């Protein structure tokens, strides 16, 4: 594993949690496939992500107590695990969003200063 790949993974990790939370907050309960599809739609397929890599993020969020997974059925009557944002998750989303905004604004400011 080269060091370059490692870096991009790390960068992704913090943001992936936020994106998943945000998706669940706006779209209601979703299963992993739906979340992945949604990510691709929003990112205009720029974010080329193996769908499997979503799982650690989902599990992490569940362990924090921010989302909760329950088994349910899709429209086509297939079983799937639906994730739903919890109250703690709502709160965390607010904080994380603020953090992210502050951070990206900060980074933006640095980038603007470039001649």
* Residue ranges binding another protein (CB under 8 A): 31-33, 50-53, 55-56, 59-60, 63-66, 74, 76, 78-81, 92
Closer CB to another protein, 5 or 113, in the complex: 5
Closer CB to another protein, 52 or 115, in the complex: 52
Closer CB to another protein, 77 or 115, in the complex: 77
Listed residue (3, 25, 10) closest to 85, CA to CA = 25
CB 90 within 8 A of CB 25: yes
CB 32 within 8 A of CB 83: yes
Nearest distance from residue 82's CB to another protein, in Å? 11
Looking only at the bridges linking them, the beta strands covering 67-73 and 30-31 are unpaired
CA–centroid distance for 26 within its chain = 12
Nearest distance from residue 30's CB to another protein, in Å? 12
84 three-state secondary structure? strand
Nearest distance from residue 108's CB to another protein, in Å? 28
Nearest distance from residue 12's CB to another protein, in Å? 12
């Amino acid at each position: 594993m080269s060091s370059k790949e490692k870096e991009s993974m790390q960068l992704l990790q913090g943001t992936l949690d936020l994106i998943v939370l945000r998706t669940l907050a706006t779209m209601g309960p979703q299963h992993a496939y739906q979340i992945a599809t949604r990510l691709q739609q929003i990112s205009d397929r720029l974010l080329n992500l193996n769908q499997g890599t979503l799982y650690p993020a989902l599990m992490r969020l569940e362990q924090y107590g921010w989302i909760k997974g329950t088994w349910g059925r899709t429209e086509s009557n297939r079983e799937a695990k639906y994730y739903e944002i919890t109250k703690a998750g709502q709160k965390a989303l607010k904080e994380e969003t603020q953090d992210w905004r502050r951070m990206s604004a900060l980074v933006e400011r640095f980038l603007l200063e470039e001649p």
